[in-house]
């Protein structure tokens, strides 16, 4: 039997007649054409399938409809599922701070330019993000860049953020040098976990100065570091972003000579059109939101360092954030 004839019979049987079927068939077809093709289907089946007026299915028609109904009845749902499965997808991993405070402009623009995009957001620390990217659990990671990038993972640097110390606003400490001149630093150090790049950069800076100052409190986010400092639990090491250095109750102290935190976008293989679009939008956002912190480096060699391994003066804390 002709499959198109069976499809038309499905609509006739479902809607109770040829006239009603014509009104519900999802493409244009005239009533005489449907009537003629139903006659051909009955000839092919060798049996009468329905009474025209009043409409009712014959036993043969009931049997045929029961056979074809699961297929044609489920086509719409299957088509929707296929369209969803074929829709572009982007799974992004980043620090909680990035996802919470800085990705929403990208999401808004994506809804305009890529309305069918399926977006997944996943927060984690740098080692987790790169592992998820390597294992194909995310498509793109926004994370600090440190050391060698894992094989088959590409990256683009887009931002360099100076490190700062956070102290309670009422603290008498004016500069980091006041701390370095002490024999022993008694204030507790509040930091993100030692596996995070910012912690390692800070400890490297201390080692160059032959200073030992280990974290007393490890917080799970930059936001918590600022909050613990605000509550008087110690001195925090953080990054020079406005929401951190302008946090209520804290004050930022620059760390001249410490390496800045370099932030990059990581992906695998050749960048897809969607990833290329994200790269452009992230650069646009950084240029607009954080002038002076943008980095034009395109995944090339690391920036030059001073003889003692410190970052160049250009990485110092912008005056606008003090």
**Domain of 119: which CATH number?**
3.40.190.10
pLDDT tens figures, 198-248? 999 999 999 999 999 999 999 988 889 999 999 999 999 998 887 677 778
Checking if the pLDDT of 86 tops 80, the result is no
Instruction: Show which of 52, 86, 120 is a domain's final residue.
Output: 86
Residue 48 pLDDT? 94
**Together in a domain, 151 and 275:** yes
Does 314 fall in a domain? Answer: no
- Rounded CA-CA distance 3/250 in Å is 73
Does 114 fall in a domain? Answer: yes
Compute the average pLDDT of residues 294-307: 49
DSSP code of residue 294:
B
- Rounded CA-CA distance 84/258 in Å is 48
Does 70 fall in a domain? Answer: yes
**Together in a domain, 271 and 149:** yes
**Pair of tokens at residue 95:** 């620090």
**Together in a domain, 152 and 203:** no
Residue 193 backbone phi and psi in degrees, to 5: -55, 150
Number of domains in the chain: 3
**Together in a domain, 208 and 61:** no
Checking if the pLDDT of 304 tops 60, the result is no
**Together in a domain, 78 and 105:** no
- Rounded CA-CA distance 206/251 in Å is 21
Helix axes 104-113, 273-289, angle to 10 degrees: 130
For the chain, give the longest Cα–Cα distance.
103
Checking if the pLDDT of 320 tops 50, the result is no
**Together in a domain, 175 and 232:** yes
Range(s) of the domain holding residue 296? 89-158+266-302
Q: Are 284 and 276 in contact (CB under 8 A)?
A: no
Q: What is the CATH number of the domain that holds 30?
A: 1.10.10.10
- Rounded CA-CA distance 233/224 in Å is 11
Does 318 fall in a domain? Answer: no
**Together in a domain, 23 and 167:** no
Task: Name which of 261, 128, 249 is nearest 191 in CA terms.
Answer: 261
pLDDT tens figures, 30-79? 999 999 999 999 999 999 999 988 999 999 999 999 999 999 888 877 76
Q: Are 207 and 179 in contact (CB under 8 A)?
A: no
More confident call, 137 vs 307: 137
Compute the average pLDDT of residues 261-275: 90
* Residue 18 CB neighbour total at 10 angstroms: 20
């Amino acid at each position: 039997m002709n499959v198109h004839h069976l499809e038309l019979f499905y609509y006739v049987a479902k809607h109770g007649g040829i006239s009603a079927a014509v009104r519900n068939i999802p493409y244009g077809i005239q009533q005489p054409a449907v009537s003629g093709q139903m006659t051909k289907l009955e000839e092919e089946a060798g049996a009468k399938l329905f009474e025209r007026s009043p409409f009712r299915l014959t036993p043969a028609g009931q049997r045929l409809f029961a056979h074809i109904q699961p297929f044609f009845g489920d086509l719409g749902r299957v088509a929707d599922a296929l369209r969803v499965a074929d829709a572009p997808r982007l799974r992004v991993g980043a620090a909680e701070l990035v996802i919470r405070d800085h990705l929403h402009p990208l999401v808004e623009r994506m809804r305009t330019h890529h309305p069918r995009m399926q977006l997944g957001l996943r927060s984690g620390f740098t080692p987790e993000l790169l592992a998820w990217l390597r294992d194909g659990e995310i498509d793109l990671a926004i994370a600090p860049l440190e050391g060698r990038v894992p094989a088959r993972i590409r990256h683009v640097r887009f931002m360099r953020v100076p490190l700062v110390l956070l102290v309670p606003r009422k603290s008498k400490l004016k500069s980091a040098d006041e701390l370095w001149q002490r024999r022993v630093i008694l204030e507790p150090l509040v930091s993100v976990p030692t596996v995070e790049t910012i912690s390692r950069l800070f400890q490297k800076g201390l080692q160059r100065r032959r200073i030992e100052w280990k974290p007393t409190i490890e917080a799970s986010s930059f936001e918590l570091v600022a909050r613990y400092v605000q509550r008087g639990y110690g001195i925090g090491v953080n990054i020079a972003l406005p929401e951190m250095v302008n946090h209520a109750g804290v004050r930022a102290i620059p760390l001249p000579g410490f390496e800045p935190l370099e932030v990059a976008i990581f992906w695998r293989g050749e960048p897809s059109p969607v990833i290329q679009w994200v790269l452009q939008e992230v650069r646009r956002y950084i240029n607009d939101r954080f002038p002076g912190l943008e980095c034009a480096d395109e995944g090339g060699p690391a920036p030059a360092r001073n003889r003692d391994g410190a970052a160049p003066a250009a990485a110092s804390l912008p005056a606008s954030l003090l």
